Chains A and B, each alone.
Chain A
Amino acid sequence: MSLLADALDYIIQLSLIDLVLTFWYFFLFDMMRYLVINGIGLVKYFIDEYKIKDRKLIARQQLFIEKPLVSVLVPGKNEGKNLYKLANSLKLQTYKNLELIVVDDGSDDETPSIARHLLKRGLIHNFFRNEQRGGKASAANLALRFCKGKYVIHLDADTLARSDALEKMLIHFYLDENIAAVGGDVRVNNLQASVCASLQSLEYIKTITTARSIASSFGILRIISGAFGAFRTDALKRVKGWDVGPGLDGDITIRFRKIGYKVVHEPKAICYTNVPVKFTKLAKQRFRWDRSLVRFRLRRHRDILNIFNHNFSWLNFITILENIIFNFAMNIKWWAYFAYIIIFHTNSLHIILFVNFVLYLISNVVQYIYALFILGNTIKKEEIQISLLLLLMPFYSTFLMRPVRTYAHIMELIHKVSYMDAWNPWKVSQNQLYAKKNTSKNIQFGGKR
């Protein structure tokens, strides 16, 4: 209580300018970005939703009149144990004209026999197996090569889609013919497995449900989740499928945007996935994910920032710039801020940290409330129960996510570690690394539409 009293005394004695100068990091960046801009975005999102309400009904009718074949692609390794559940969840979908294509990327467990059994039973429509692992991108491209659907759903084997999820995503293709991809809302299935999983559930609600819905509303969505995304098959074939990851989902989204397609997020198209239950595993996962910012935004797609580029688009520019500023630059600035308060506020360090905690807690609570508006009646009881853990979110973001992200950025910038990641087979990583060293030629994907 004395810390709270000290903090209050400390804040009261500060002038407004001193307050901003001491907590500039929060007030100038986090509050502006996540509370103010997201708040405006939220209003825009609901206005947009209201505007297209009737058109969505018509689009749904069109979808069910046309009933195009939709190919559900499930590439993966050692995912046999999840296939039966997955196939059954697809049978329960409100949209029925589906073909489920499973690609086994060099599994060394029972996956091939399970998949063949399900194929015989008609629960899977086609099954391909690569004896040698080729990586997620090649497995997805193999499925894309042989799929027959007008639209493609890319799904991770361990995700379970809500019964109306596919329908909700597919409707967007009938709302705007320029939409090439629709992202589904990924939520945590095993949120009660551990504190780590619960915190990730809160994080997913904040960064996927809220942030992507608002980014989509502003037209600056930069990623269609690899776990659950819908694509126009012709658009996918135009960009010639997925490229080598990690981060292939973000990469393909940017490639769609570069050739003029729109990408949107549909928070009502919900799928549930399992997340790491231990912090060590989570750190490894994020170390892999966070490197893609450097690999793809700063390196591969930096041409988007070139205003003299003949393909230049302000929306694409903002999309990448926002990502670079708030995930890369602000991350570095946070360390600078941390150093600043240690050096200049040594005596009141504990109070400043406490106030920061309170400010970030408030920010998290407000963002959670934003999410509740978007989630509406799709929120589950368990997701409300874990809201008490919002108290831990400032620690989770600051002391776990931020160091991992910083480390990932540095390692990728200096050592290009993503090219050596075991996530890809060594033959693929080695080839990527060798090719990068020996050629400066960029890959060209299609022309402007």
Chain B
Amino acid sequence: MEYYISNQSVTPKELASTLLFSFDDEINATDVNIIYIDASDLILANKYLKRLRQQSSPAVYLTPIIFICSPLQNISPAMNLADGLLLTEQLDAYSIQQVRNQFQECQMRIKDLAKHEAKDIQIAFKILRYLYIHQCNIEPIRTITSQYGYRYPQLEPFFDSQDHSLLNTLEFLEAHHLLVSKELEKSYQCNSCESAFLNFQETCSHCQSSNLTMNELIHHFYCAHVDNKEAFLQGNGEMVCPKCEKSLNHIGADYDKPSIVYHCNDCQHDFQDAQIVTTCYNCHSKSIPDDLVHRKIKRFELSALSKQTALYGLENMLQAVVRDVFDAVELSVFERFVHMESARVHRYQLSHSCLFKLQINDLESLYLELGEKAKDFFIELTQLIKIRLRSCDLISASNESTIIGLLVETHDLNAKIVMERLINDIEQLLQSSINFHVPISSKIQPITKSIDANELMSLLE
């Protein structure tokens, strides 16, 4: 099935087979092959495209989207967020068929995924899937419409705003070897707002004024006289040495130009090495080149690992870190231990053991904030937890953001104190290292003789 999104009430005859939707309609169907969007109002079209890409259903957000626009619109590559463009004058059966052919394989891959009826929430994962499904590389496009001086337009609709999130996500995927990059060029960006639009000016090394005159020096070989070129120039354009009054006819034979000297018209200082100062067009802050942000502009491609990951899911980083640092047990093993502990408590009726759950919510925003540094942060976080727990306690991770544990011989009141301290530690870590806040919740479940192990685990959910 193909859809056509437009505020017009009539579908172009070439797209007669498509279903017509307005920009107010939601698309939730899983059987859509291609979505054509009337891009005569580009802002509206891009907005709608963004809504589609931000859905969690792979069948929707991965669907190829084609803009239909007029040739007069002259949409630049940087502004084209869709997978393809069709000009209204090209709109014929042949080009429609070409589009269908182009995305045929892509649709097959989407269908395979859609069978699972999964919901994809992690943006990094969605981007990886999108790149895999569309088998495309991500090329930066130079543009003045982005303060960074370049954009990755195809991926922008996955994000709410144009901030660091897109670049951080790409770096995150690269750090996990899911994308490989090739550096195309380096960009100097403002250290205050990261704008790439900078004015480089030569300034006086004494007073920082840019009111400079650049003078070419002339060295007359015969008498060793050195002065500004103006001192040698006569009214008729000839050069005569002011010292020995000989004519300077041939550069290299009579004279040379050994260097350039700047003269500051404000403080009268003469110097050779002008200080380069940049002024940001965006935030007007001044800086020297050494202090600018040097960013690599990269082209990204799918790596050998990306196919498996795109198909079967992004490995849970927190889980992986917990497993590595704590030597944590698998969830099934953990459940068996809970059974055993429950039986022991029930049998002897002397012990007070507790289960705990620690959940870091909105991990997505943390990934986006930290990019490739996310792994380092999680290692630090798990080490904090390790300090608070004893070697006899048991740890596992139930999902990507939840750590569960068994505190043996611990009263629920003491377990609560441990959890409070732990949450406090984590919040402090987030605050001090990245000045960031994510909601963290915890739950304590005492192991009592009246509740069996399965129930205990479900109560912890």
Q: Residues on A close to B: CB < 8 A?
A: 116, 119, 126-132, 134-135, 137-138, 141-142, 145-146, 240-244, 427-428, 430-432, 435, 443
Q: How far is the CA of A142 from the CA of B222 in the complex (A)?
A: 15
Query: Nearest chain A CB to B128's CB is how many angstroms away?
Result: 47
**Measured between C-beta atoms, what is the minimum distance from A392 to chain B in Å?**
39
Q: CA A392 – CA B272 in complex, angstroms? A: 50
Report whether A132 and B243 are in contact in the complex, using a CB–CB cutoff of 8 Å.
no
Answer whether A130 and B224 are a contact pair too, CB < 8 Å, given A146-B270, A241-B243, A431-B254. no
Residues of A within 8 A of B219 (CB): 130, 134, 138, 142
Residue from B227, B244, B259 within 8 A of A128 (CB atoms): B259
Closest to B270 in A: A146
Known: A135-B224, A145-B227, A443-B223. 11 other contacts (CB 8 A): A119-B273, A126-B270, A134-B256, A142-B226, A240-B223, A240-B225, A241-B225, A241-B243, A427-B221, A430-B221, A432-B222
Residues B223 and A132 in contact, CB atoms below 8 Å apart? no
Complex alpha-carbon distance, A244 and B273, angstroms: 27
Asked if B224 and A138 sit within 8 Å, CB to CB, the answer is yes
Question: Given contacts A146-B261, A443-B244, are A127 and B221 in contact (CB under 8 A)?
Answer: no
Query: Which B residues between 246 and 275 are near A, CB-CB below 8 angstroms?
Result: 246, 252-254, 256, 258-259, 261, 270-273
Give the nearest-CB partner of B273 in chain A.
A116
Q: A146 vs B263: C-alpha distance in the bound complex, in angstroms?
A: 10
Interface size range on B against A: 20 to 34
State the Cβ distance, B291 to closest chain A Cβ, in Å: 15
Question: Could you list 25 A-B pairs, sorted by A, with CB under 8 Å?
Answer: A119-B273, A127-B273, A128-B261, A129-B259, A130-B258, A132-B258, A134-B224, A134-B256, A138-B219, A138-B224, A142-B219, A145-B227, A146-B270, A240-B225, A241-B226, A243-B223, A244-B224, A427-B256, A431-B221, A431-B253, A432-B221, A435-B222, A435-B246, A443-B243, A443-B244
Given contacts A134-B219, A431-B254, contact A128 B272 (CB under 8 A): yes
Closest to B268 in A: A148
* B91: Cβ under 8 A from any A Cβ: no
Closest to A431 in B: B221
A234 to chain B, nearest CB (A): 16
Query: Is B217's CB within 8 Å of the partner chain A?
Result: yes
Q: Which of B219, B242, B254 has the most CB of A within 10 A?
A: B219
Q: How many whole Å from A141's CB to the nearest CB in chain B? A: 4
Q: Which residues on B sit within 8 Å (CB–CB) of A240?
A: 223, 225, 242-243
- Taking CB as reference atom, which chain B residue is nearest A138? B224
Contacts of B252 in A (CB 8 A): 427
Minimum distance in angstroms from A122 CB to a CB of chain B: 11
Q: How far is the CA of A240 from the CA of B232 in the complex (A)?
A: 14
Is A431 within 8 A of B222, CB to CB? yes
| B259/A131 in contact, CB under 8 A | yes
Are A243 and B224 CB-contacts (below 8 A) given A127-B273, A134-B256? yes
The distance in angstroms between the C-alpha atoms of A135 and B225, with both chains bound, is: 11
Are A131 and B258 within 8 A (Cβ)? yes
